[in-house]
Amino acid sequence: MLACLTRNATASKSITQEKVNQIRPGLTTEEDLVRAFGPPATKTVCPPGAMTLEWFYSSPISAQNYIPVIGPALGGTQFKAWELWVVLGANGEVKRYIAYGLYANGETKRYIERGYYPK
């Protein structure tokens, strides 16, 4: 029987390109990730020893977002969110990760995908 346990929490630090670029598969640990990004929003443990961590961050919404009709003309739809998904191996080190940028217009961009796949 395959079972997964999930824990939810609130991410407290921003996700930036600079921080994501510092993740090194095979070297970066869970402690390193928590130091850089805060506690993960979700933590899922699945046998045999793998774990996934996810962080979500959205830029603060400007006041223009709340002005009907003219809000977009004032730049009120300039919204960006990040999602970072990381898989840790049984040794607690990053195996692979993906970082996404999500935008107000519905566009999603995959910025980085790196992995360490031992042979």
**Domains in the chain: boundaries:** 5-62+72-115
Q: Alpha-carbon distance 104 to 107, whole Å? A: 7
Q: Look at 18 and 116; give whichever has higher pLDDT.
A: 18
Q: Alpha-carbon distance 55 to 28, whole Å? A: 16
Instruction: Choose the weakest-confidence range: 44-53, 84-93, 99-108.
Output: 99-108
Give the closest residue to 21 by CA, choosing from 91, 90, 111, 118: 111
Residue recorded with tokens 């400007």 = 62
Tokens (6 digits) for 71: 């809000």
**Using alpha carbons only, what angle is made at residue 43 by residues 42 and 49, rounded to the nearest 5 degrees?**
160
- Note the pLDDT tens digit of each residue in 22-81: 999 999 999 999 999 999 999 998 767 889 999 998 876 655 555 555 555 555 555 678
